[in-house]
Amino acid sequence: MKKRINKSERKFQYAGRLQQSGQKPKDLNLHGRSQWQWTWTKMGLLSLCILSVSIPLLLHLFSDSIDLSRPSDIGLNHTINMYLTPEEGVRVGVWHTVPEHRWKEAQGKDLDWYEKALGDGSPIFIYLHGNRGNRSAPHRIGIANVLSAVGYHVLVLDYRGFGDSTGEPTEAGLCTDVLYLYHWVKARSGNSPVCVWGHSLGSGVASTTAVKLLVQGKQFDGIILEGAFLNARMETNKLTEHPFTWIYWKFPYIQYFLFNPLKNKDLNLPTDENLQKIQTPLMILHAEDDHLVPFASAQEIYRIAKKAQNSDEHVKLVRFDGALGYLHNGLYKDPGLPNIIREFMQSLMT
């Protein structure tokens, strides 16, 4: 009758044989732990990959579920939606948020009331967003809320091809949309200052539109560039590669989840060249930890603009500490931002 050997006896017999042969016994518990650690590491990496794909997808599905014609559905109770027609066959959606101190007065008001409100003397901002999503993105609503709280009107535009705006997005088309909105606002704003705020891709649209306005003998009263890049050419410049290409190289599949209407478009939007022609007061906002557009881009933009305007007063660079974790889209969270904006606007009046 064979003797049954349990696991612990088998382990000691195995260790004895190794000792007789001069080999060191393996730590079986350590080997088991390393296997578990490797398993958990693989599971963690797999989870990270799944999140990197699912989060953009979920955000896109959520933004698509919002009826952009009803901003009140997401708590914007002093905002109205409207559609403008910059060209035949093109309709662009715009949200107009009035200054926060007028929110009670704004309840139940129609588009005519909002149009007349533009002439109340409060500063007006045209906000130009980045290259994905629509005007309902949380960080875009965040900036609109900050500007409204300070006491300003905000008009947030979805370029053609973005959100519920119709048409095919092109560089010329984006600028045409902004020019049309600018003239629409100026026709109703009286002597109120009209400024532009460009974030990310919107910084290039803002600077390019500003140059086109100069040709027409007009200009914005002030320009704010947030997370701005030097230009949108898909090539390497002396400071950094185009900020939106690295993710395509590292994760080729991700392009199907970024929902970018400008994908594969030939863009230029040369902020670096435009700022050499602009004399408009300019403020540059940039986080040190911006993960899409390095802070060096903001420093170069500041150098170019300061040289062109030959002024320390008209060109300002505001640096946000990387430890704050704002990255590319989070500057609206900064508690000091309202005062930064207020001081910039006050400098326009002097």
Instruction: Give me the residue spans of the domains in the chain.
Output: 74-231+270-348
**What's the pLDDT score for residue 239?**
37
The bridge status of strand 79-87 relative to strand 90-97 is: antiparallel
**Average pLDDT per 10 consecutive residues for the chain, totaling 350 residues:** 49 46 51 64 60 47 74 94 97 98 97 98 97 93 98 98 94 97 98 97 97 97 96 48 39 40 73 96 97 94 96 94 97 98 94
Report which of 245, 315, 248, 250 is spatially closest to residue 280, judged by C-alpha positions: 315
Known active-site residue 69: no
**What's the pLDDT score for residue 235?**
33
The catalytically annotated residue of 290, 297, 314, 334 is: 290
Q: How far apart are CA 264 and CA 203, in angstroms?
A: 19
**What's the pLDDT score for residue 91?**
98
CATH number assigned to the domain covering 74-231+270-348: 3.40.50.1820
Q: How far apart are CA 16 and CA 13, in angstroms?
A: 5
The catalytically annotated residue of 148, 165, 200, 297 is: 200
**Backbone CA torsion sign across 164, 169, 173, 175:** positive
Known active-site residue 334: no
Q: Give the HSE-up count for residue 303: Cα atoms under 13 Å, Cβ half-sphere.
A: 7
- Is residue 230 within 8 A of residue 302, CB to CB? The reply is no
Known active-site residue 266: no
| Predicted TM-score of the model (pTM) | 0.79
Q: How far apart are CA 120 and CA 140, in angstroms?
A: 24
The catalytically annotated residue of 177, 189, 328, 334 is: 328
Q: How far apart are CA 166 and CA 158, in angstroms?
A: 10
Q: How far apart are CA 250 and CA 241, in angstroms?
A: 14
Q: How far apart are CA 324 and CA 235, in angstroms?
A: 31
Q: How far apart are CA 35 and CA 250, in angstroms?
A: 28
